[in-house]
Amino acid sequence: ARTGDPEVVLGQGKRPEQVVTLLRTLHREHPDRAVLATRLAPEALDLVARELPQATVDDVARAAMLGPLPSPRGLVLVVAAGTSDAPVAAEAALSVAAHGAGVRRVDDVGVAGLHRLLAVRDELAAADALVVVAGMEGALPSVVGGLVGVPLVAVPSSIGYGASLGGVSALLGMLNSCAPGIGVVNIDNGYGAGVLAARIARQSAPRGTRAAPGAQP
């Protein structure tokens, strides 16, 4: 990509052989960078594993990666509300790593069990950027955004049924968050969230060197 980031193949709607060919070609053109493929069907994941043994294949994230990872700068925390949100969180984490930032996961801290979330508050506050994944009512970003002032990227997941409308309810919840400073990406788009969070984290000054907000120079 022109922006200096890794090339990414959107696997959805592509045949397994197309995915393998694209990964191989892009890797040859950019041997010094990671090449990523997302939204891969099980058959594509299998074929990549067989044909490109040097690739990292992440079955949960439904994604594959080829080539060297950039050295990480800054830290992104990927926070997920429920266990069903794992695929989206994994795609986000992989994308963060491929785009040059460090990454840690915090799982199963949904808003109906606040104690688990409150227990990790300091960890949240210490990150350079947060990716927060939640389905159903999508309330987790509001609660996290009320706890810490770290740049936050919210990802609605399609987990739910009936009036969850395939993730639209979670999306609307996040867009209407009463906590400000939350950027929202498309439903299940862990990739897009990971890119934005990595860009923020890797350009961040180390914590110790930052002035306090509002401090006079």
Q: Which residues bind Mg ion (CB under 5 A)?
A: 81, 134-136, 178
Give min distance, CB of 102 to a second copy, in A.
Answer: 12
Region binding ligand AMP by CB under 6 A among candidate stretches 72-80, 82-90, 124-132, 140-148: 82-90
**d(C-alpha 81, C-alpha 84), whole Å:** 8
**d(C-alpha 167, C-alpha 157), whole Å:** 6
Q: Is residue 167 near ligand AMP by the rule CB under 6 A?
A: no
Q: What is the DSSP letter of 205?
A: P
Give min distance, CB of 208 to ligand AMP, in A.
Answer: 29
Q: Is residue 10 near ligand AMP by the rule CB under 6 A?
A: yes
Select the binding partner of residue 208 from a second copy, ligand AMP, Mg ion, none (C-beta < 5 to 8 A, by kind).
none
Helix/strand/coil for 181:
coil
Torsion angle defined by CA atoms of residues 17, 22, 28 and 33, in that order, rounded to the nearest 10 degrees: -130
Minimum CB distance to ligand AMP smaller for 12 or for 203 = 12
Give min distance, CB of 106 to ligand AMP, in A.
Answer: 15
How far, in whole angstroms, is CA 9 from its chain's centroid?
Answer: 16
Give min distance, CB of 50 to a second copy, in A.
Answer: 23
Q: Write the CA distances from 121 to 99, 149, 216, integer angstroms.
A: 25, 11, 28
Cβ(92)–Cβ(191) below 8 Å: yes
Q: Write the CA distances from 134 to 44, 63, 81, 191, integer angstroms.
A: 27, 20, 5, 15
Q: Is residue 19 near ligand AMP by the rule CB under 6 A?
A: no
Region binding ligand AMP by CB under 6 A among candidate stretches 8-16, 25-33, 150-158, 166-174: 8-16
Give min distance, CB of 24 to a second copy, in A.
Answer: 16
The position carrying tokens 């949904």 is 110
**d(C-alpha 168, C-alpha 122), whole Å:** 31
Give min distance, CB of 215 to a second copy, in A.
Answer: 7
Instruction: List phi, psi (to 5°) of 78.
Output: -105, 115
Minimum CB distance to ligand AMP smaller for 13 or for 208 = 13
Short-list 81, 72, 95, CA closest to 154: 81
Q: Is residue 191 near ligand AMP by the rule CB under 6 A?
A: yes
Q: Is residue 27 near ligand AMP by the rule CB under 6 A?
A: no
Note the residues at the interface with ligand AMP (CB under 6 A): 8-10, 38-39, 82-84, 180, 189, 191-192
